[in-house]
Each structure stands twice: as C-alpha cells, then as structure tokens.
C-alpha cells in the first residue's frame, strides 16, 4: 500500500470548513524511525494556528497536522531503538503527521503504552505533559518550596503542570481562568491552592493578597501581550516568567513599565517544544517516562479528556478547541 488517508486542508490553509480527509502518500520509516498505525491523536492549539497558515513548521515536519498520537508499530527503519519491535503498542510525540492512518516517527520519541491506559488517554499525554515538564524543570528552574501560577488553568498544558507542581512540593499552586467553573475545576479536580477568574477579578491583586505581597515565584503564561505587564506586577523577587504562547496577541501595548526587571530581578523566557532537536526532545521523553508515567499508573496523575470524537468529525473537534470552552484534551480516534 503506497497511500493512506489523512486529514488535509483544502487550499493548504483555511478555516475549520477546509478540513477534510484525503488520500496522501504513506510514509516510509528510515533510520531510527518506526511506522505506527495510528489509533488516536490529540489536538493542540498549535494545530489551529498551523491550519490557518500562521505556524512556522520545523524543517523536518510534514504538512499534515498533529504532533501526538497512540498506535501500533507496523514497520521499523534500519536503526531503531532496541526496545521497540513490530507489534508494540506505543504512544509518542512527532514533529507532525499524526492526523493520519500512519505516521513515521523516531523511536527516540516513542513510549511503550501501558495496559492500564487507553489509546485515547495515551494520545493526550505527549505534547502537553512534555511541554509542562520542559517549562517547569528546564526553563523556569522550579524547585520544591517555590510558588507557581499557571495561566489558562483549564488548558491541557496547565492541567498537566498543576498536577506536576502540586505533586513536586510547590509551596502554593495558583491558576487563572475565564470562568468560575474552570477555576473550581483547577482547585477541586487538580489540587490548585487557589484560582482566579480573570473576567470578574483583578488576578494580580488576588495573587498579591494570597502571597502576602511577595508575589509568585514562577509564572507560566500562554496569553502573551495582554498579560505581560500584569505578569511583571505579580512576580516575586528573583522570579521567572515563562511565555509559551500569545493567545491575546504578540504586540505589547505602549506604556510598559520595565522597572520590574531591575526591582524584582526577574527573568522572562520564551520557549517552544516543536522546534527543539530530537536529542532534546528525547531527554524530555525519558523524564516523562521516569517521573510522570508511574503516577499515571497508580492514579496520582490523571489525563483529563474533555471530548473523544471519530476523526471523521475533525471539523467539530477543531471548532470545539477554537471556541475555548473545553477543560482538557480533545482526542480523535481512527477506526474501531
């Protein structure tokens, strides 16, 4: 078989209505790659940006959407990791191509699927949990005893990050969200210390009250421009702000007060995962396997899935994510 079905975008970019399933060439695994028959794939906000043509792809990424998946190895290249063989059930992270019946992906980015977790759960782990791991431990240098704030507290990365930092000894874990329902979710379901509704309260004031005027040690931000000054106002001395997205835009408004950089001795870092090389991503995969996977198996960590849809409903799936009303992952399944 030289072709396969995959989600395509009519005209190469466009609105939700441009998504459809088409026949494209089936990839061939080479070197350390495996060819995986996809059972399920997770959706991420970057998929929406890529769909409309505003995401700069890394050079090794195929045009097909999707970076996380679960499935069964059907074929191997000539130099795979020794731990993987044909027939293995796996899940993993890719540079792209997961919205398809088959994906060619490095075995360095695969994880053996535990029997205790479903195909859908495994498809919702790689991108979000590895992104959270990177932000916490490699970028912000979070350590036990520090306080942390997760913006967009009901988003998939923050769901992972709140659970990780609660488990790893944060002195306090805060979150922001745009509804009371999502704030309650962050506290009651994920274990956050407190969560602040950004529509009905001044979250900076709330953070300062909660921390006794000290501010928070680490802020993980996906909002971008609208929160840049507020992040500076809420950060503690020697704190770290990590920017992972710009949902409110990438242009900072006039009147930015830069004094916090000196007054608070804070750092602001930006990061992405998809642009990282395979060696870097492989180390994060190993950290996921060693640090988080055992906690999924014993129930301390949960993969929160908002909706599972057949991949034929890909337009509905993208619309759900675009409407920003979900709590957790949207996952699509392929076949039975």
pLDDT digits (tens, 9 = 90+) for 163-217: 999 999 999 999 999 999 999 999 999 999 999 999 999 999 999 999 999 999 9
CATH hierarchy code of domain 129-270: 3.40.50.720
> What is the per-residue burial (b if ≥16 Cβ within 10 Å, else e) of 246-264?
bbeeeeeeeeeeeebeeeb
| Percent helix, percent strand, percent coil in the chain, to nearest 5 | 35, 25, 40
Tens digits of per-residue pLDDT, 189-198? 999 999 999 9
Contact predicate 147/170, CB 8 Å:
yes
pLDDT at 245: 85
pLDDT at 25: 96
**Number of CB atoms found within 10 A of residue 142's CB:** 24
If DSSP codes are grouped into helix, strand and coil, which group holds residue 290?
Answer: helix
Contact predicate 154/185, CB 8 Å:
yes
Q: Which of 19-23, 139-143, 168-172, 270-274 has the lowest mean pLDDT?
A: 270-274
Segment 250-266 mean pLDDT: 86
What distance in Å separates the CA atoms of residue 240 and residue 223, rounded to the nearest whole number?
A: 16
The residue among 159, 160, 178, 327 whose CA lies nearest residue 247 is: 178
Answer with the residue of higher pLDDT: 174 or 324: 174
Number of H helices, E strands in the chain: 11, 15
Contact predicate 65/47, CB 8 Å:
yes
Answer with the residue of higher pLDDT: 308 or 258: 308
Segment 52-66 mean pLDDT: 92
What distance in Å separates the CA atoms of residue 125 and residue 21, rounded to the nearest whole number?
A: 24
What distance in Å separates the CA atoms of residue 109 and residue 273, rounded to the nearest whole number?
A: 13
pLDDT at 184: 97
* Domains of the chain by residue range: 3-125+290-333, 129-270
3-125+290-333 adopts what CATH topology?
Answer: Quinone Oxidoreductase; Chain A, domain 1 (3.90.180)
Starting at the earlier edge strand, list the strands of the sheet with 172-177: 194-197, 172-177, 147-150, 216-221, 235-243, 267-270
Quick one: CA torsion of 212, 218, 223, 224, rounded to 10 degrees? Answer: 110
Q: Is the per-residue pLDDT at 317 higher than 90?
A: yes
At 336, the pLDDT band (50, 70, 90 cuts) reads low
pLDDT at 136: 95
Q: What are phi and psi of 182, to 5 degrees?
A: -70, -35
Q: Is the per-residue pLDDT at 248 higher than 80?
A: no
At 5, the pLDDT band (50, 70, 90 cuts) reads very high
Q: Is the per-residue pLDDT at 277 higher than 90?
A: no
pLDDT at 234: 97
pLDDT above 70 as % of the chain: 99
What distance in Å separates the CA atoms of residue 128 and residue 152, rounded to the nearest whole number?
A: 13
Q: Which two tokens stand for residue 108?
A: 């360095």
């Amino acid at each position: 078989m030289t072709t396969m079905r995959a989600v395509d975008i009519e005209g190469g970019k466009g609105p939700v209505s441009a998504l459809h399933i088409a026949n494209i060439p089936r990839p061939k695994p080479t070197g350390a790659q495996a060819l995986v028959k996809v059972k399920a794939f997770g959706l991420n906000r970057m998929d929406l940006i890529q769909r409309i043509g505003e995401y700069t792809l890394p050079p090794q990424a195929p045009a097909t959407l999707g970076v996380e998946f679960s499935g069964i190895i059907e074929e191997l290249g000539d130099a795979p990791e020794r731990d993987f063989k044909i027939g293995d059930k796996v899940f993993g992270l890719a540079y792209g191509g997961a919205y398809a019946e088959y994906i060619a992906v490095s075995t360095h980015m695969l994880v053996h699927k535990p029997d205790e977790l479903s195909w859908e759960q495994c498809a919702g782990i790689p991108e979000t949990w590895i992104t959270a791991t990177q932000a916490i431990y490699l970028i912000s240098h979070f350590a036990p005893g520090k306080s942390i704030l997760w913006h967009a507290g009901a988003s998939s990365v923050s769901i992972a990050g709140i659970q990780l930092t609660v488990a790893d000894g944060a002195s306090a874990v805060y979150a922001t969200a745009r509804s009371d329902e999502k704030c309650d979710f962050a506290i009651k379901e994920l274990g956050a210390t407190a969560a602040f509704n950004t529509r009905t309260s001044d979250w900076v004031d709330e953070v300062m009250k909660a921390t006794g005027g000290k501010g928070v040690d680490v802020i993980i931000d996906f909002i971008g421009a609208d929160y840049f000054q507020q992040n500076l106002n809420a950060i503690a001395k020697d704190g770290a702000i990590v920017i992972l997205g710009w949902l409110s835009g990438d242009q900072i408004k006039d009147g930015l007060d830069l004094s916090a950089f000196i007054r608070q001795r804070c750092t602001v870092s930006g990061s992405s995962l998809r642009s990282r090389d395979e060696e870097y991503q492989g180390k994060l995969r190993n950290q996921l396997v060693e640090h988080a996977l055992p906690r999924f198996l014993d129930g301390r960590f949960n993969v929160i899935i908002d909706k599972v849809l057949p991949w034929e409903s890909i337009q509905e799936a993208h619309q759900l994510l675009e409407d920003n009303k979900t709590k957790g992952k949207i996952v699509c399944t392929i076949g039975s």
